[in-house]
Structure 1
């Protein structure tokens, strides 16, 4: 079986080093999951996440000219975000929201003006 970039496959952890884990892929090829591709959060000790003999799902990130295969566990788990359904709004809804916003904005401005004038000592000129 050839390893294709972007494909997700099940592999078996064959070795763990402080920089990552070696994973045997179907077809007998071996790839490396770098420690930065193990989990979404910072991984200080890879042994807390993986163990030799464990079967894991990985995504093939790249296959180098020299045959080195780069893998990722966290990208294999990623799912595309589901699009939210668009809610149709009528022009009346927009007008209500705009009117509410303008009223709120005017209220806030008048409050700020009042506070500023009271700090200056009133409305009279000096």
Structure 2
């Protein structure tokens, strides 16, 4: 049987190094199982898992033009069961109306199979803060308050605009003329 990507062989470990193990294959060829391809679990020390003379079942994952053969043991193992994440309960069923937004396609924010809420489903809109009571404020105090509120609005708008465009503002003359 030719050694090709995807083929499965039974081989004997001929050497163990800190980065992986060498495995004797048919036709007198030798391949290497990298430490990351030994197990579904993290392997700190490969010598604790594989020893010279062990018989292992391996799958060919790459054959380089220079003849080097990359092997995997973990691709033949059943996937490790995933433990539930701590501090999280079951995900809520989000089929009801969204607060402050709308639904596309009648059911949800995204088409079936999408992950999470749609990015553009409910755009954020700046809402003014309730005006503070102006008990006999001087003109300078009112102007100062107006200026700070105006700067807040501009900063929010600038922040939103940059997030949507994926960058900052560049004047016309500096955009990279040709």
Q: TM-score range by the shorter chain?
A: 0.5 to 0.7
Whether 1:50 aligns to 2:50 is yes
| Partner of residue 60, structure 1 | 60
Q: 1:6: Cα distance to partner? A: 0.2
Q: 1:17: Cα distance to partner? A: 0.3
Higher RCO (C-alpha under 8 Å, 6+ residues apart): 1
Unaligned ranges ≥5, structure 1:
80-100, 103-126
| Partner of residue 113, structure 1 | none
The secondary structure found in structure 2 opposite 1:27 is helix
The secondary structure found in structure 2 opposite 1:36 is helix
State how far apart, in whole Å, the 2-side matches of 1:30 and 1:78 are. 25
The secondary structure found in structure 1 opposite 2:26 is coil
State how far apart, in whole Å, the 2-side matches of 1:77 and 1:42 are. 14
> Aligned-pair RMSD on alpha carbons?
1.6
Aligned residue pairs: how many? Answer: 81
State how far apart, in whole Å, the 2-side matches of 1:3 and 1:76 are. 17
State how far apart, in whole Å, the 2-side matches of 1:78 and 1:6 are. 16
Structure number, greater radius of gyration: 2
Q: 1:78: Cα distance to partner? A: 4.0
1:2-59 Cα offsets, whole Å, 9 max, x none, are: 2011011001000000000000001110000000000001100101110100110000
Unaligned ranges ≥5, structure 2:
80-94, 97-178
- Where do 1:1-126 residues align within 5 Å? 1-78=1-78
Q: 1:71: Cα distance to partner? A: 0.2
TM-score (norm: length of structure 2): 0.43
State how far apart, in whole Å, the 2-side matches of 1:76 and 1:30 are. 19
State how far apart, in whole Å, the 2-side matches of 1:41 and 1:58 are. 17
State how far apart, in whole Å, the 2-side matches of 1:68 and 1:60 are. 11
The secondary structure found in structure 1 opposite 2:61 is strand
